[in-house]
């Protein structure tokens, strides 16, 4: 997917967040004083990721976007174009189970992946746009971590299908570059 598609989805997501009266009031107040930071992890099919596995390339395209909103909530949305999975099913209800987590990049072990920010419970996470709200999280909690999509291989292993680093898309300090090349 091109960067233009990601930017359009980013705009649509921000508009969706502020389209309800309850959220609009809070965001208007926050935006009068500061902006809402946004971060992305972008998966590109056949893009290499750094780790020593038999396969160390992403098997699919997609992205996960993190938008910091009011009340310490992280609005998580995206689209993961993974083939041969069951639509309208959460990752942790598939057989074999899938894991979609945001975790430390230095360790792709089973325990490290399982300890990260868990997106397994998101319905329609594959092949359809998805949304989740994580309370008590901020964009700074996920930047420079890795989005990992893996298939469970028993109780102690994974087959890694994709890895992408979370990078800032919108920084809220006045001197930052907004929507710089991801």
pTM, rounded to two decimals: 0.72
Q: How confident is the model at residue 92 (pLDDT cuts 50, 70, 90)?
A: low
68-84 CB burial, b ≥16 within 10 A, e <16:
bbeeebbbbbbbbebee
**Cis upstream peptide for 96 (omega within 30°):** yes
Q: What is the pLDDT of residues 143-180, one digit of tens each?
A: 999 998 888 776 667 788 889 999 999 887 655 555 54
Mean pLDDT of 105-113: 78
Domains of the chain (ranges, CATH numbers): 3-170 (2.60.40)
Provide the pLDDT for residue 112.
Answer: 77
């Amino acid at each position: 997917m091109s960067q233009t598609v990601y930017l359009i989805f980013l705009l649509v997501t921000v508009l969706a967040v502020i389209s309800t009266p309850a959220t609009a009031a809070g965001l208007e107040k926050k935006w009068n004083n500061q902006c809402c930071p946004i971060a992305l992890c972008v998966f590109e099919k056949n893009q290499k990721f750094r780790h020593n596995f038999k396969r160390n390339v992403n098997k699919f395209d997609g992205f996960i976007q993190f938008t910091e909103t009011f009340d310490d909530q992280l609005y998580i949305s995206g689209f993961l174009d993974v083939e041969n999975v069951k639509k309208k099913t959460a990752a942790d209800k598939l057989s074999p189970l899938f894991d979609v987590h945001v975790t430390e990049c230095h360790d792709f072990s089973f325990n490290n992946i399982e300890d990260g920010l868990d997106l397994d419970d998101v319905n329609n996470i594959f092949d359809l746009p998805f949304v989740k709200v994580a309370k008590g999280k901020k964009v700074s909690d996920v930047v420079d971590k890795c989005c990992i999509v893996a298939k469970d291989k028993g109780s102690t292993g994974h087959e890694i299908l994709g890895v992408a680093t979370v990078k800032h898309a919108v920084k809220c300090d006045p001197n930052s570059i907004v929507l710089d090349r991801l």
